[in-house]
Amino acid sequence: MRGALGLALPEVPAGLPSQLLERRPDIAAAERRVAVANADIGVAQSAYFPNLMLSASGGFAGAGFSQWIDAPSRIWSLGAALAGTIFDGGARRAQTDAAVAAYDAAVGQYKRAVLLALQEVEDDLAALRVLAEERTALDAAVAAAQVADHASLAQYRAGTVTYLSVVTSQTLLLSNQRAGVQLLGRQLVASAALVKALGGGWNAAELAGAAGDSVARPAAGDLDNAARTAAPASTSPAVVPTPAGS
């Protein structure tokens, strides 16, 4: 769609894949914080396992210096030590619970980031739809004002009306045209806001790649039941519908 000044509005596809939201810095950062918190749970749980230490040594031993270079004087040792904490007063359990609580908090922040992103996209799509409807009505008003202007000018040339009628019709036409330019600016701002909400623009390659992505990704509501010892994959909300009039 091109406005009155020849500026082209970006054509929004009929359906935008939700994978486009993964490019947003806030969602990517929240997802990485969930992964870090998940890894911290594994670190805390590893404290329950004993520590295995291996050591080795070698050298020579003898009653005199002359015996140190003899083969029978060579000595070596190889050993393993296993050490573990028997009682810590619940410190390890508390550390694990704290890591799980931090993970739950990170999941909550991730959900919030996704919901805010969806809200921004929906608001911008709705704004574009309303502005498109307003554009249709305003274009009709401009066309009607042009017809009235031509009619009043023809009547003035025929001597049936005064020039005041021409000025009045031209004033109305100019007012509608100015309103159209202002509306175009609002449409451009809404389009830029939509691009920002999606984390960037879109093209055919991105849309095809996002639609053909067959990697299973858990939904944001399933993160509470995710495995505590495996880093969560990138999650995505549902496909965002786009109004046909945008």
DSSP 74-125: EEEEEEEEEE--S--TTHHHHHHHHHHHHHHHHHHHHHHHHHHHHHHHHHHH
Query: What CA dihedral angle connects 29, 35, 39 and 42, to 10 degrees?
Result: 150
Which residues, 6 or more positions from 100, have their beta carbon under 8 angstroms from its beta carbon?
A: 41, 228
**pLDDT value at position 93?**
83
Helix (H) or strand (E) holding 59: strand 51-60
pLDDT in tens, the chain (246 residues): 454 556 777 777 777 777 888 888 899 999 999 999 999 888 888 777 767 667 777 666 656 555 556 656 666 666 666 556 666 677 778 888 898 999 999 999 999 999 999 999 899 999 999 999 999 999 999 999 999 999 999 999 998 989 999 999 999 999 999 999 999 999 999 999 988 888 877 765 555 555 555 344 444 444 444 434 333 344 333 333 343 333
Q: How many CB atoms lie within 10 A of CB 120?
A: 17
**pLDDT value at position 176?**
94
Helix (H) or strand (E) holding 197: helix 163-197
**pLDDT value at position 32?**
93
**pLDDT value at position 137?**
94
**pLDDT value at position 70?**
60
Rounded to whole angstroms, the Cα distance separating 53 from 79 reads 8
**pLDDT value at position 150?**
94
Strand partners, 240: 16
The sign of the CA dihedral 102, 104, 107, 108 is negative
Nearest to 169 by CA among 154, 152, 182: 152
**pLDDT value at position 21?**
85
Which residues, 6 or more positions from 199, have their beta carbon under 8 angstroms from its beta carbon?
A: 20, 21, 22, 23, 24, 25, 27
**pLDDT value at position 135?**
92
Residue 26 in tokens: 């806030």
